[in-house]
Amino acid sequence: MSNQKSSFTFSVTARSGEARRGILTTGHGDVETPAFMPVATQGTVKTLTQRQVEELGATIVLANTYHLMLRPGADRVASLGGLHGMMAWDKPILTDSGGFQVASLAALRRIDDEAVTFRSHLDGSLHALSPETAVAIQEKLGSDIAMVLDECVVYPSERAQVQRAAARTLAWARRCRAAHRRADQALFGIVQGGVDEDLRRESARSLVELDFPGYGIGGLAVGEPKELTRAMTEVSTQELPEERPRYLMGAGTPRDLVESVARGVDMFDCVLPTRNARNGTLFTSRGKLAIKNARYTDDPDPLDPECTCYTCVHFSRAYIRHLFVAKEATARTLNTLHNLHFYLELMRRIRKSIEDDRYEAFSHELEEIDNPI
Amino acid sequence: MSNQKSSFTFSVTARSGEARRGILTTGHGDVETPAFMPVATQGTVKTLTQRQVEELGATIVLANTYHLMLRPGADRVASLGGLHGMMAWDKPILTDSGGFQVASLAALRRIDDEAVTFRSHLDGSLHALSPETAVAIQEKLGSDIAMVLDECVVYPSERAQVQRAAARTLAWARRCRAAHRRADQALFGIVQGGVDEDLRRESARSLVELDFPGYGIGGLAVGEPKELTRAMTEVSTQELPEERPRYLMGAGTPRDLVESVARGVDMFDCVLPTRNARNGTLFTSRGKLAIKNARYTDDPDPLDPECTCYTCVHFSRAYIRHLFVAKEATARTLNTLHNLHFYLELMRRIRKSIEDDRYEAFSHELEEIDNPI
């Protein structure tokens, strides 16, 4: 078994209620938490260069094992210097296990205790992902943080099904832990248990006994009501050790992030800022803005008058709308720069308000982020 | 009539054979010539931000009047601060007159001595472009260099048709000159005359009598053999005054640029580097490279081992091919950065070799740029 602590540490440096301010150290540098990880699905944050991602202040990105194992392939990534070398990104990278996207994207999925077997959505080729291969692939990708293979159930599901998936996830976590070799890569466990409080507590407790260097909170933001997401997030963090980072997988809206930090979450990833950007939906301090709306045709204001990103410092809504309507790729780049800046700036403000021990007040000040404008 | 010399000057600072090294001064800064102008058709260089264009070392870009008059519209551009304000690009901008793209893109085109009438390719709406409106629109766009409205004939055309078009172009040049008001914008005349030496000399001479601050060489690179393009370029520059810049419109390949500079051309624009980039064709010191080719699947080398652009310094052919095959927008951005760097670097080397008075030798050293690799 690897000695993961050789290059991975986490420490909580301040608290405000349940919200935690921390620092995560990896072989590729530090990550101030709470942190948001822009999604670089296929080895790039869509529409951006790595230089732009770095200039935005991102200190860690997430890449998707499912996509990368199919194309360009884990061995190819390894031969190109791992994800860091291939992408020329020398800061931390987290990879998911591939399990979630197998469930959502692949065809003909069959799951048993041994592995999940599926056909590629690209060419129909047959693949299997077992706990051991999920670890081996992520070791080839060379991420700083890898995730165990888990089974995620849809919402709603029968309790028995949720229980079976949680049990399998635990068994797989054990196998992943045993298979993991890279000392320069931390392997996180994943809490499952659906929206059943008892199952979730049980999943978390059993996982904690395996002593992972960090924990994902999985199986949420899959269609359940927000109140359940938040309750289950809280239940999960309550069972997780204080001194280990908690990563709420796949969340979420700016409000989701703020509420989850209040419940003790340290790390996030979500396609929302980047996907919305490409669709022309911008996050602003006053709420969401749909740039294709005709009301912006002559609007000389920036997307968000309070924003300091490259896009807002230089360009008007009218110009961005023009580029968007004219289908110029530059519009999607400018929108992505803005939305990621919004998320990363939100995290900076979250971290500051925890340091200042005024997180609850800060959360209330952010009412407008939920509105459409 | 405007006093264009108030903000526009040109001086030749060195010669090597017929090749000229010069400097063009505008109200938005200087342009070292021979210069290549990246094309920002709709108010942006496709796939790039203006910061990236500036970092590439571009000192002037070209925008297309036809596209911008239709969308977002010249009045809107004016109200957003002109092209410079709207695009947040504070270096020189050249606009074409719109005539060429009316001929190539618009539907139901009808041309007479008064104007060219056409339907928008976007929504079928009816528009007219006269010498006076072409000037008025470009004044609203606020470019540093505007072009007269010309009539460009296809190749091959009957001599009588070429002659009529050249005569109309001259008459329109006179009307454009009379209509032009902005002292901070230089208006260039355009030499026509197809591939008929006599007509071309006559077109150039008559135009020179009107004393424009610069001259476009139009009606070339429209399908005629390269030898004719080069011969007609030479015929045109022979008739044009030494102390005024010459702009070969719409050219061309790297070799076209090198050969045209040898014939006394100072300025170029072409969609080739940007369009090829988006299609995955890269210019390199060893020739053209098609990145989708399977031979690059595992290739750890940069696109061009001799290149110093952001793309080549950081990324392998294998990674760029992966992004391109995966249809990641970032691939098109990285390719565009590379191809524009290639063109702009070529111009830097062209300028240096003229300064060193070894232009002919330099031209011979560049044999490989024409090969496919």
Identify the residue among A46, A47, A49 best suited for mutation to test binding to B, counting B beta carbons within 10 A and taking the highest: A49
| CATH number, domain containing residue B179 | 3.20.20.105
- Position B31 pLDDT exceeds 50: yes
Would B174 be classed as within a structural domain? yes
Residues B167 and B288 in one domain: no
Residues A29 and A142 in one domain: yes
Residue A366 within any structural domain of the chain:
no
Alpha-carbon torsion A158, A163, A164, A170, what sign?
positive
Q: Is the ipTM of this complex over 0.90?
A: yes
Structure confidence at residue B109 (pLDDT): 86
Query: B266, B269, B301, B357: which is the annotated catalytic residue?
Result: B269
Report the predicted TM-score, pTM, of the whole model to 2 decimal places. 0.97
Which residue matches tokens 């000392």? A183
Contact A86 B318 (CB under 8 A): yes
Contact A329 B332 (CB under 8 A): yes
Q: Where residue B369 falls among pLDDT bands split at 50, 70, 90?
A: confident
Distance from CA of A328 to the nearest CA of B (A): 6
The answer on B288 and B257 residing in a single domain is no
Whether residue B85 is found in the same domain as residue B177: yes
> Quick check: B262 and B283 in contact, CB under 8 A?
no
pLDDT in tens, B160-203: 999 999 999 999 999 999 999 999 999 999 999 999 999 999 99
Active site residue B301: no
pLDDT tens, position by position, A215-229: 999 999 889 999 999
- The CA–CA distances, whole Å, from B318 to A51, A73, A81 equal 19, 12, 12
The SS3 of residue B61 is strand
Q: Which residues of B touch A322 (CB under 8 A)?
A: 42-43, 71-72, 76
| Residue A339 and residue A299 in one domain | yes
Pick from A212, A243, A269: which residue ends a domain?
Answer: A269
The tens digit of pLDDT for each residue in A35-55 reads 999 999 999 999 999 999 999
Same domain? For A243 and A290 the reply is no
Residue A123 CB partners (closer than 8 Å, separation 6+): none
Spacing of C-alpha A44 from chain mean position: 14
User: Does one domain contain both A197 and A181?
Assistant: yes
> Of B270, B285, B312, at which residue does a domain stop?
B270
Say yes or no to pLDDT of A6 above 50.
yes
Amino acid symbol at B286: R
Residue B284 in any domain: the answer is: yes
Domain membership of residue B82 (yes or no) is yes
Examine the domain organization and report whether A340 and A231 are in the same domain: no
CB contact under 8 A, A318 and B76: yes
Closest residue, chain B, to A77 (C-alpha): B319
**One domain for residues B225 and B85:** yes
DSSP 8-state assignment for residue B223: S
Say if strands B19-26 and B9-16 run parallel, antiparallel, or are unpaired. Answer: antiparallel
Same domain, B59 and B114: yes
d(CA A155, CA A143): 30
User: Among A225, A241, A269, where does a domain finish?
Assistant: A269
Enter the tokens of residue A349: 């403000």
Between the alpha carbon of residue A77 and those of residues A2, A52, B65, B114, B316, the distances in Å are: 22, 22, 45, 62, 11
Catalytic residue list contains B96: yes
Q: What is the mean pLDDT of chain A?
A: 95
- Overall domain count for chain A: 2
Would residue A249 count as lying in a domain? yes
Which residue, among A141, A169, A151, has the nearest Cα to A70 in the 3D structure? A141
Residue A121 bridge partners (DSSP): none
Given CB atoms, is A90 within the 8 Å cutoff of chain B?
no
Q: What is the mean pLDDT of residues A156-173?
A: 96
Same domain, A228 and A339: no
Q: Which residue of B has its CA nearest to A89?
A: B314
What is the per-residue pLDDT across A225-241, written as a single tens digit (0 to 9) for each?
A: 999 999 999 999 999 99
What's the order of all strands across the beta sheet hosting A116-119? A107-111, A116-119, A126-129
**What is the spatial distance between Cα B168 and Cα B153, in angstroms, rounded to a whole number?**
11
Is residue B86 helix, strand or coil? helix
Interfacial B residues in 332-361 facing A (CB < 8 Å): 332-334, 337
Answer yes or no: do B332 and A330 touch at CB < 8 A. Answer: no
Both B210 and B296 in a single domain?
A: no
Is it the case that residue B52 has pLDDT exceeding 80? yes
Q: Could you list the residue range(s) of the whole structural domain that residue A87 is in?
A: 18-269
B239: CB partners within 8 A, 6+ apart: B191, B200, B201, B204, B205, B208
Q: What percent of chain B has a predicted confidence (pLDDT) above 70?
A: 98
The reply to whether B94 falls in a domain is yes
Is residue A13, in this structure, part of any structural domain at all? no
Q: Which of B157, B111, B154, B156 is nearest to B134 (CA)?
A: B111
Q: Do A47 and B87 touch (CB under 8 A)?
A: no
Would you say residue A244 lies in a domain? yes
Q: How far is A258 from chain B (nearest CA, A)?
A: 30
Instruction: List strand residue ranges (DSSP E) for B114-226, in order.
Output: 116-119, 126-129, 145-147, 186-191, 215-217
